[in-house]
Structure 1
Amino acid sequence: MATTLANDRHQDFEESRGHGGYATHEVTNQPRPLAPYDASRDAALLEGLRREGAGWAEEDLRRLGRLAGSEQVQEWSEQANRHEPELRTHDRYGHRVDEVEFHPSWHHLMRTAVAEGLAAAPWADDRPGAHVARTAGGLVWGHTDAGHGCPTSMTYAAVPALRRQPDLAAVYEPLLTSRAYEPGLRVPTRKRGLLAGMGMTEKQGGSDVRTNTTTATPTTESGVYTLRGHKWFTSAPMCDVFLVLARAQEGLSCFLVPRVLPDGTRNTFRIQRLKEKLGNRSNASSEPEFDGTVAWLVGPEGQGVKTIIDMVNCTRLDCVTMSAALMRKTLVEAGHHVRHRSAFGARLVDQPLMRNVLADLALESEAATALTLRLAGAADRAVRGDAGEAAFRRIATAVGKYWVTKRGPAFTAEALECLGGNGYVEESGMPRHYREAPLLSIWEGSGNVNALDVLRALGRDTATGQALLDELALSRGADTRLDAAVARLREQPAEGSPSGARRLVERMALALQGSLLVRYAPPAVADAFCATRLGGDWGHTFGTLPDGADEDAILGRALPGD
């Protein structure tokens, strides 16, 4: 009897296991994996690429988009963040080495980014639009991992600063603009390609570099100094060379610091620790100490800040680019989920309020993308000698850096919420993007720094404010709400109050985005943007588009069928 009951229970147990083993249910109503997908499948991106003079790069951009959205590359991105970099201060014998070890996936991502021209390659490319092509590539490759964008960005930004010292530029620029990724600390001139980092801020001052205490003492060799001091936030310490601010006799100056000296010995670059950050976990950020560290002067003594100003314009543009890329990435993730998930008898994408949220996010993403590519176009033309575009770039990059990076965290949070509890789980990838978003409004100057920089630009050079107004004038008469917003800006005094700087910059950014959309986007997109962002018919969260908004047209453009 007991044996019979045991056999019956075993049979019932085996039947309950089903085909999956111990199965209690069948998995339904879950979206399939997004990857593989094409990260370049974005109408606003491709139109902006052509409009800003880099249509010749479209085929390569589409290829890069398919690669970025591939299963393998998406897995690289996840692994690079799961296996964080590790600091090795000493080797097994006790010698100081100050090296950082990365997971192989980090190197795969870096190798691809450098080979695709996302580091400093545009400076060696004479084709008009080369810098636009790089930015567009960043918008696409930004669908992978944000952390490795830091060393590529700094390498890109180092070139214009280094050009202020032609003898150094002659040696290092060809290696910085190379498409060869060659990790490991060796004599820079013996490598096929180099990466550059930056060491600007110190713990006592942060963005206020006037308080820097690191000193630079000249040696008997012309242009060569030794540094003593510290840096508080120096990312990518595994780079080959660094641009560093230090105090020389004439004041704050810029120096080139190699990790390895020409004779093969290690330069003193003591990494005290790696920062444990909220996000950007794949990228190593460090606190280095200098003590007799050999450095070469870049630009005149006492003009360190002036020397690095072009560098700041470059890195700020990259912060805008990465914010726009994160917006687009999380929008694509949210759109994919709501198309393949049902609730209360209908697909989520067909639920009226969810559709409104998604359309509102799509508007924000398109506005960010359009502005990013316009800034890239200004940068490209400015470096080729266009004074008007240089003036526009000076003010508009700071405006874009302030606004787009501020919108990123709220946008990413809303996109995450579209996935519900699934979005709050690490394996969805959305928490990683959410943690990444606030960083971009902090790096290269926080919101206050950028807003005050706009006021300084307006006060010091009337050409900058006029360049912005001239840009906005190109859309005059196309939309009454936009015209009213521009008129309010024209009434603004040239030197505004610091306490009102954020309000002013926000108005500038929205007017600039509205002007671009009115000129270049479909009417449904431009009208919805102007009605909400400029006309006041908008709530305080995403998903409050007015009833008249053409959500189908907005979403059909932003998220083509999959």
Structure 2
Amino acid sequence: MNYAHNDPALTAVVDRWIETDDRARTDALLERLGADAATRLTDLAAVADQNPPTLRQFDRDGNRVDEIDYHPAYQELCRAAYHEYGLSALSHRGIHGWEAKPPHVVKYLASYLFVQSEFGLACPVSMTDAAARTLRMFGDSDTFASWIDALTSTDPATSMTGAMFMTETQAGTDIAQTATVAERDGDTWRLSGMKWFASNPDADVIITLARFPGGEQDSTRGVGMFMVPKRLPDGSRNSYRIDRLKDKLGTRSMPSGEVTLDGAIGLQVGELDRGFRQMAEMVNTSRLSNAMRSTALMRRAVRDAVAHTREREVFGTKLFDQPLMRATLLPLLLDAEAALALVGYSADCLQRADAGDDTARTLIRILTPMAKHYVCKRARAVTGEAMEIRGGNGYIEEWGFAKLVRDAHLGSIWEGSSNVIALDVLRCMRKQQAHRHLATAMIDTLTVFGPECADSATTLTRRWTQLVARGDDMLDADDATAQIACARYTDDLARTVMATLLFDLAAHRIATGRGDRSLLVANAYLAALDGDVSGTAIEQLAIIADGTEVAARIEHRTLAGASA
């Protein structure tokens, strides 16, 4: 078993967005991690989920220690994520044979395989990566160089983990209401306040927000960004308490807690009145990671559901061969494949944006919340349907489906629940006309397709024209009307982007002689956007599930008679 095998979505994305010079190293990393995720890491994750961490606030002498005790299975997962595979270091330094840092897409694809075994730990891994990125972008290099080095280290003796403390009881979404305060103590800042939902609360490096003296009241301009270290230079613990750990529905292997900062020493990051804008960079990085993680949950759930239907026989026929089951599996497979296409394209956009491409910077600004909004919520439905396919055993914890469902629900909540994210898309549209830039990029993609995709390119171009007009109307409407419409619009935007990207993958594979299977997937997804079911895709479901390439042209007809 290897999660990198028989994953046609992964194969297509690697072929499309990994350059030739990076291919051998990428393949080697994914091959190794895919095998490990399917065996050792999956077994460890199951044990860690059943043995959540515990908080030990005092030692036997009554001294306050606030230490979290982890099961050995979680600790081994940490060694794999941070040290063996360096998932939090992949965007920062050369590892796994790269002299310079690998492309962003490598990190997202490697993490996608890891998350199929363990979802909870991926949150601290993402925050560690994002903390290093944020400190590098906004922090003083002389002050933070050693911290960045530790956050991106793969050496167990020197590596550190990161966390992001934003949520307060009155300021989860409305950051302007942040009550934590930062006060000057000579040349030092001291932070006091309570953070209500803090994942990885015993992290070595905490990025947080606090109000500063003289800052604007009831405004994000009055909130600064600070780095709070767990340990001070003399080795003593910084002045904050972990009050308790949360009893969560999912991600039970990874601790989330309530933390009180009690005059904790913090280091100022960047300009004081731009703290929230700087934190947005960290949040956006984590939001794209959220979409990747939800994609991984979908892939794991669908893979396991397909395997079950091929083993289970009902009324003398394998479930996989029964028409209604095929119609049930098809949209799940399409959703998983489309989501990974969106993650791959977004990672490539992020790479270009970091290299100074202004167009890519605008695209990633809207792609990130858009992907977070649609993919994370869709994962809840896909994992739930996959659990039902497994029947009664799917509802039993021992079979793993229940864990996927529990974990999937968090993706659409943390780092901004769905409504918050939809409003962020609306903000992008208002400030940057981002929907128009996205439509232009997608239509430009459609214009280079070959004859096999010509009819679908025409259909998608029409959809993009309609989406731009809808977006313009939404922006011209009053605020209440725009808010009501923005969530549905975001989902329509996401589905049309994914449909376009599936055809982009299909055109690429056809042009490079890799077969016709991806065109079958793209046509089926496009048909589904109009509420149709592709009869050809139902008949050829094994090709979609297994990634078998088809050299000959497939007649892409639909059950409902629509052209696709």
Query: Aligned equivalents of 1:362 and 1:326: distance in 2?
Result: 12
The answer for unaligned runs of 5 or more in structure 2 is 216-221, 448-453, 507-517, 549-564
Task: Return the letter of the residue paired with 2:109.
Answer: A
Query: Aligned equivalents of 2:2 and 2:347: distance in 1?
Result: 26
Task: Return the letter of the residue paired with 2:545.
Answer: A
Task: Return the letter of the residue paired with 1:352.
Answer: P
Task: Return the letter of the residue paired with 2:172.
Answer: G
Counterparts of residues 92-491 of structure 1 (less than 5 Å): 92-115=60-83, 116-125=85-94, 127=100, 130-163=103-136, 164-166=138-140, 167-181=142-156, 191-221=157-187, 224-249=188-213, 250=215, 251-462=222-433, 465-476=436-447, 477-479=454-456, 480-491=458-469
How far apart are 1:554 and its partner, in Å?
4.3
Q: Does 1:69 align with 2:35?
A: no
1:463–1:417 Cα change, 3 Å: closer
Larger Rg: 1
Which segment is superposed worse, 471-480 or 358-367? 471-480
Query: Aligned equivalents of 1:267 and 1:169: distance in 2?
Result: 17
**Is contact 2:436-2:468 (8 Å) kept?**
no
Query: Aligned equivalents of 1:377 and 1:127: distance in 2?
Result: 17
Query: Aligned equivalents of 1:457 and 1:467: distance in 2?
Result: 11
1:341–1:508 Cα change, 3 Å: same
How far apart are 1:530 and its partner, in Å?
0.5
How far apart are 1:531 and its partner, in Å?
0.7
Task: Return the letter of the residue paired with 1:81.
Answer: D
| 3-state DSSP of counterpart to 2:333 | helix
Identity %: 36
**Is contact 1:128-1:380 (8 Å) kept?**
no
Provide the TM-score with structure 1 as the length reference.
0.87
Query: Aligned equivalents of 1:172 and 1:383: distance in 2?
Result: 21
Task: Return the letter of the residue paired with 2:428.
Answer: A
**Is contact 1:472-1:512 (8 Å) kept?**
no
**Is contact 1:39-1:69 (8 Å) kept?**
no
Q: Does 1:526 align with 2:522?
A: yes
Query: Aligned equivalents of 2:280 and 2:443: distance in 1?
Result: 25
**Is contact 1:215-1:227 (8 Å) kept?**
yes
Could you list the per-position Cα deviations for residues 514-562 of structure 1 after superposition, in whole angstroms to 9, with x for gaps in the alignment? 10011213221111111112x232xxxxxxx34x23235443233359x
| 3-state DSSP of counterpart to 2:412 | helix
1:294–1:216 Cα change, 3 Å: same
Which segment is superposed worse, 307-316 or 283-292? 307-316
How far apart are 1:142 and its partner, in Å?
1.1
Query: Aligned equivalents of 1:315 and 1:153: distance in 2?
Result: 6
**Is contact 2:3-2:38 (8 Å) kept?**
yes
Task: Return the letter of the residue paired with 1:485.
Answer: R
Q: Match of 2:16?
A: 51
Query: Aligned equivalents of 2:270 and 2:383: distance in 1?
Result: 41
| 3-state DSSP of counterpart to 2:182 | strand
Task: Return the letter of the residue paired with 1:319.
Answer: N
How far apart are 1:205 and its partner, in Å?
2.2
Q: Match of 1:498?
A: 483
How far apart are 1:91 and its partner, in Å?
0.7
Task: Return the letter of the residue paired with 1:235.
Answer: S
Q: Match of 1:188?
A: none
Which segment is superposed worse, 111-120 or 425-434? 111-120
Could you list the per-position Cα deviations for residues 394-420 of structure 1 after superposition, in whole angstroms to 9, with x for gaps in the alignment? 001111110001101111111111111
Q: Match of 2:556?
A: none
How far apart are 1:128 and its partner, in Å?
7.3
Could you list the per-position Cα deviations for residues 312-341 of structure 1 after superposition, in whole angstroms to 9, with x for gaps in the alignment? 121001100110000000011101111111
1:362–1:493 Cα change, 3 Å: closer
**Is contact 2:178-2:210 (8 Å) kept?**
yes
**Is contact 1:469-1:490 (8 Å) kept?**
no
Query: Aligned equivalents of 2:527 and 2:380: distance in 1?
Result: 23
Query: Aligned equivalents of 1:524 and 1:486: distance in 2?
Result: 21
**Is contact 1:39-1:143 (8 Å) kept?**
no
Query: Aligned equivalents of 2:376 and 2:3: distance in 1?
Result: 24
Query: Aligned equivalents of 1:235 and 1:60: distance in 2?
Result: 28
How far apart are 1:288 and its partner, in Å?
0.3
Task: Return the letter of the residue paired with 1:340.
Answer: E
1:195–1:128 Cα change, 3 Å: closer
Could you list the per-position Cα deviations for residues 205-241 of structure 1 after superposition, in whole angstroms to 9, with x for gaps in the alignment? 21211111110001212xx300111101100012101
Which segment is superposed worse, 39-48 or 137-146? 39-48
Query: Aligned equivalents of 1:265 and 1:347: distance in 2?
Result: 63
Query: Aligned equivalents of 2:334 and 2:135: distance in 1?
Result: 39
| 3-state DSSP of counterpart to 1:416 | helix
**Is contact 2:323-2:538 (8 Å) kept?**
no
Task: Return the letter of the residue paired with 1:557.
Answer: I
How far apart are 1:464 and its partner, in Å?
6.3
**Is contact 2:288-2:368 (8 Å) kept?**
yes
**Is contact 2:376-2:408 (8 Å) kept?**
yes
Query: Aligned equivalents of 1:128 and 1:507: distance in 2?
Result: 35
Query: Aligned equivalents of 1:350 and 1:402: distance in 2?
Result: 34
**Is contact 2:126-2:286 (8 Å) kept?**
yes
How far apart are 1:129 and its partner, in Å?
5.0
Query: Aligned equivalents of 1:345 and 1:176: distance in 2?
Result: 56
How far apart are 1:39 and its partner, in Å?
4.2
1:486–1:464 Cα change, 3 Å: closer
1:40–1:193 Cα change, 3 Å: farther
How far apart are 1:257 and its partner, in Å?
0.4
The answer for unaligned runs of 5 or more in structure 1 is 1-35, 182-190, 538-544
**Is contact 2:91-2:101 (8 Å) kept?**
no
| 3-state DSSP of counterpart to 2:295 | helix
Q: Match of 1:510?
A: 495
Query: Aligned equivalents of 2:281 and 2:373: distance in 1?
Result: 18
| 3-state DSSP of counterpart to 1:146 | coil
For these two proteins, the number of residue pairs brought into alignment is 505
**Is contact 1:358-1:555 (8 Å) kept?**
no
Could you list the per-position Cα deviations for residues 283-302 of structure 1 after superposition, in whole angstroms to 9, with x for gaps in the alignment? 10000001111110001112
Query: Aligned equivalents of 1:146 and 1:226: distance in 2?
Result: 34
Task: Return the letter of the residue paired with 1:215.
Answer: V
Task: Return the letter of the residue paired with 2:139.
Answer: Q
Query: Aligned equivalents of 2:16 and 2:2: distance in 1?
Result: 25
Q: Does 1:555 align with 2:519?
A: no
Provide the TM-score with structure 2 as the length reference.
0.86
| 3-state DSSP of counterpart to 1:302 | helix
**Is contact 1:200-1:231 (8 Å) kept?**
yes
Query: Aligned equivalents of 2:134 and 2:297: distance in 1?
Result: 28
How far apart are 1:139 and its partner, in Å?
1.1
Q: Give me the CA root mean square deviation.
A: 1.7
**Is contact 1:400-1:509 (8 Å) kept?**
yes
Q: Does 1:536 align with 2:531?
A: yes
Query: Aligned equivalents of 2:425 and 2:543: distance in 1?
Result: 36
Which segment is superposed worse, 353-362 or 209-218? 353-362
Task: Return the letter of the residue paired with 1:513.
Answer: M
Query: Aligned equivalents of 1:233 and 1:204: distance in 2?
Result: 12
How far apart are 1:253 and its partner, in Å?
0.4
Query: Aligned equivalents of 1:472 and 1:178: distance in 2?
Result: 41
**Is contact 1:423-1:431 (8 Å) kept?**
yes
| 3-state DSSP of counterpart to 1:179 | coil
